[in-house]
Amino acid sequence: MKKLFLLFAILLTIFACKQKDEVQYSKPLVIRDGLLYEDSTSTKPYSGRHKSRMKDMKIEYEVVNGVREGDFIIYFSNDKIQMEGKMQNNKNNGFWKYYYSDGSLQTSGYYNQDAPDSIWKWYYNDGKVSEEGKYHNSVRDGEWKSYDSTGRISIVRLYKDDELIDSTKVN
């Protein structure tokens, strides 16, 4: 009897530990009149942290009164982060990062009300910068630099209101 009880206790402990590791994913939220709802019959806009699946990826974000506000994260199927940033009033706002499937940083930059703004950088898989430049009101503006895989500047481009003004290859 003691052996049976011990076996039952061990199995219960293993099952309980597995339950904690499993993340509960919900069905995607429903958009109605610009707000997010738990389902098509809900009358109250959704609030809380929402986790769901999108094809082979996972998506996780904060919602306040039917509006995306706060953290927004999408994961690759291997559970590494694909992109992460902040939402404000359903729009990308602030610093965002995009990753390669191996977890290394691919791109980083700022959004202002869903528009790329300020400095953006692209990276090689080894973490070295491959390109960097500035957006202003969602268009390239100013000096943009491309780097070779050793980290040396290879091309310098000058943009004005998204129009290429000059491009210089650096030896």
Residues 86-106 have a mean pLDDT of 97
Domain extent at residue 131: 104-171
Q: Is residue 130 one of the residues assigned to a domain?
A: yes
Final residue of a structural domain among 81, 103, 125: 103
* 93 lies in the same domain as 132: no
pLDDT tens digits for range 139-161: 999 999 999 999 999 999 999 99
Selected residue with higher pLDDT from 131 and 18: 131
- 51-92 residue pLDDT tens: 999 888 999 999 999 999 999 999 999 999 999 999 999 999
Q: Would 54 be classed as within a structural domain? A: yes
Residue 138 in any domain: the answer is yes
Same domain, 163 and 125: yes
Q: Are residues 37 and 97 in the same domain?
A: yes
Supply the pTM of this predicted model.
0.81
* DSSP state letters, the chain: -HHHHHHHHHHHHHHHHHHHHSPP-BPPPEEETTEEESSTT--S---EEEEEEETTEEEEEEEETTEEEEEEEEE-TTS-EEEEEEEETTEEEEEEEEE-TTS-EEEEEEEETTEEEEEEEEE-TTS-EEEEEEEETTEE-EEEEEE-TTS-EEEEEEEETTEEEEEEE--
pLDDT band at 23 (very low <50, low <70, confident <90, very high): low
Q: Is residue 8 part of a domain?
A: no
